[in-house]
Structure formats: C-alpha cells, structure tokens
C-alpha cells in the first residue's frame, strides 16, 4: 500500500507560500508558509501535520494492541508535540512527545503503560521518524 501527499511552493522563504494536498482530498491545496510555521500566521505547517499523523497512528496502534490483549478502549486521546529547533545553520526535529489519555475498562495501570509503550514503539509513524529517507530529485525546465 502506498499513500501520497504533495506540496507546491512558490516564491522565497519569507514572502512565498505554498499548498499541501493529500491523495484522499482531505487536504486540498491547504495553505502553508513561513508565518504559519515560525510565527502565528494562517495555514498549516509540516510539524503540525507530522504531529497529527503521529497522534492518529499511535491511537490506532494502541487500540489494536489493547484489543489483542482483550481490552476495548472507550476513548483514546493523543496529542503529539513536535519540537522544531535551530541547529547550526538550519533546523531539526529532535523530539516528539506523545501525551495520551485513555478510558479503558478493566485494564490495570501497569498493563496500560506496558501496552502504551508497545504501541509507541510499533506505530508506523514512530518508525518512519527513525527511517532512512530516500529521494529522487530532478531539475525541471
């Protein structure tokens, strides 16, 4: 299975802007830019999209793992805080923090923590944040 996201950017870093779209159309030319990323401007930014993807992936993985252990969650709420920091001449994402709250009847605190850790480690987005990133780049006319 392969899923696609795309972006178009026009102009310079501070005066330019872009749009982000997803294959499903949930995001369709959603605006993003410097002000949305580094200031308090309108639009989205890559870090909040990574956070939303990580929170969603983790919540689904946790639901699966809880179910495999015989528990049915009534609710899982996950907030992923993606940290973007200046590093040398550029920026990096050194960490993501998952803040998870869940209502799971019948599970002990110890088992809950064990299964949450398993979900964090097994979530595909957690894994991609440690992945080898490949690229094809071409200069267009």
Cβ atoms 38, 49 nearer than 8 A: no
140 belongs to a structural domain: no
| pLDDT averaged per 10 residues, the chain (length 141) | 92 93 94 91 92 94 96 95 92 91 94 94 88 75 66
Residues 120, 65 share a domain: yes
pLDDT tens per residue, range 47-68: 999 999 999 999 999 999 999 9
78 belongs to a structural domain: yes
Which range marks the domain in which residue 12 is found?
1-44
Residues 67, 8 share a domain: no
24 belongs to a structural domain: yes
0.85 cut: is pTM over it?
Answer: yes
- CA 72/CA 115 separation, integer angstroms: 13
């Amino acid at each position: 299975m392969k899923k696609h996201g795309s972006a178009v950017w026009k102009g310079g870093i501070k005066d330019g802007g872009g749009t982000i779209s997803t294959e499903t159309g949930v995001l369709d030319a959603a605006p993003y830019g410097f002000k949305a990323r580094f200031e308090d401007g309108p639009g989205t930014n890559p870090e909040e999209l990574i956070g939303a993807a990580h929170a969603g992936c983790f919540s689904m993985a946790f639901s699966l793992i809880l179910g495999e252990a015989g528990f049915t969650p009534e609710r899982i709420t996950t907030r992923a805080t993606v940290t973007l920091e200046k590093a040398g001449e550029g920026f990096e994402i050194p960490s993501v923090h998952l803040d998870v709250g869940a209502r799971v009847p019948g599970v002990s605190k110890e088992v809950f923590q064990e299964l949450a850790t398993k979900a964090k480690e097994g979530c595909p987005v957690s894994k991609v944040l440690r992945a080898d990133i490949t690229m094809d780049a071409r200069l267009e006319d």
